[in-house]
Structure 1
Amino acid sequence: MNPIFKTRARTRRAAAVLALCASVCAPTHAARAQDDRPNQDQVVQDGIAVKPLNRNRIGSVWRDIAAPEQVVNEQSAQQYLALMSKARQEGALVPESDPQVRRLRAIARRIIPNTVRWNPDAQQWKWQVNLLRSDEVNAFCMPGGRVAFYTGIIDKLRLTDDEIAAVMGHEIAHALREHGRDRQSKATATGLASQLGGAALSAWLGVDVRGATNAAGQLLVLKFSRDEEREADLVGLDIAARSGYDPRAGIALWNKMAVLNQSGAPIELLSTHPGGGERIEQIESHMNVLLPLYARSKGTTVDRLPPYRSNVAQR
Structure 2
Amino acid sequence: MSWKLSFMAATLVAVTGCAEVSTTQSGAVGVERKQTMLLSSQEVEQASAKSYAQEVSKVRSTGKLNNNAALTARVRTVANRLIAQTPVFRPDARTWRWEVNVADSPELNAYAMAGGKVMVYSGLITKLSLTDDELAAVIGHEMAHALREHSREQMSQAYAQQMGLSVVGALAGLGQGAMDLASLAGDLALTKPKSRTMESEADVIGLELMARAGYNPNAALSVWRKMMATGNGNGPEFLSTHPSDSSRLQELSARIPRVMPLYEAARRR
TM category (shorter chain) comes to: 0.7 to 0.9
1:129·1:146 contact (CA, 8 Å) conserved in 2? yes
Partner of residue 260, structure 1: 230
Q: Percent identity?
A: 38
Kindly indicate whether residue 225 of structure 2 is the aligned counterpart of residue 290 of structure 1.
Answer: no
In structure 2, the residue corresponding to 1:149 is in which secondary structure? strand
Kindly indicate whether residue 103 of structure 2 is the aligned counterpart of residue 122 of structure 1.
Answer: no
Residue pairs, 1:1-315, within 5 angstroms? 47-51=28-32, 57-58=35-36, 65-66=38-39, 68-95=40-67, 98-189=69-160, 225-263=195-233, 273-299=242-268
Report the residue type matching 1:154 in the other structure. Answer: I
Report deviation, 1:144: 1.1
In structure 1, the residue corresponding to 2:195 is in which secondary structure? helix
- Say how many residue pairs are matched: 230
Report deviation, 1:71: 2.0
Report deviation, 1:187: 4.4
Residue 152 and residue 293 in structure 1: after superposition, are their counterparts in 2 closer, same or farther (change >3 A)? same
User: Structure 1 segments of 4 or more deviating over 6 A?
Assistant: 190-194
Structure 1: how far apart are the matches of 2:51 and 2:193? 27
1:174·1:228 contact (CA, 8 Å) conserved in 2? yes
Partner of residue 215, structure 1: none
Report the residue type matching 1:170 in the other structure. Answer: H
Structure 1: how far apart are the matches of 2:234 and 2:48? 33
Structure 2: how far apart are the matches of 1:243 and 1:177? 19
Structure 1: how far apart are the matches of 2:99 and 2:70? 17
In structure 1, the residue corresponding to 2:153 is in which secondary structure? helix
2:137·2:206 contact (CA, 8 Å) conserved in 1? yes
Q: TM-score, normalised by structure 1?
A: 0.63
In structure 2, the residue corresponding to 1:298 is in which secondary structure? helix
Residue 130 and residue 44 in structure 1: after superposition, are their counterparts in 2 closer, same or farther (change >3 A)? closer
In structure 2, the residue corresponding to 1:286 is in which secondary structure? helix
Partner of residue 211, structure 1: none
1:247·1:294 contact (CA, 8 Å) conserved in 2? yes
Report the residue type matching 1:231 in the other structure. Answer: E
Structure 2, unaligned stretches of length 5 or more? Answer: 1-5, 11-18, 168-191
Report deviation, 1:94: 2.1
Structure 2: how far apart are the matches of 1:129 and 1:176? 15
1:255·1:276 contact (CA, 8 Å) conserved in 2? no
2:25·2:90 contact (CA, 8 Å) conserved in 1? no
Relative contact order (C-alpha < 8 Å, sep 6+): which is higher? 2
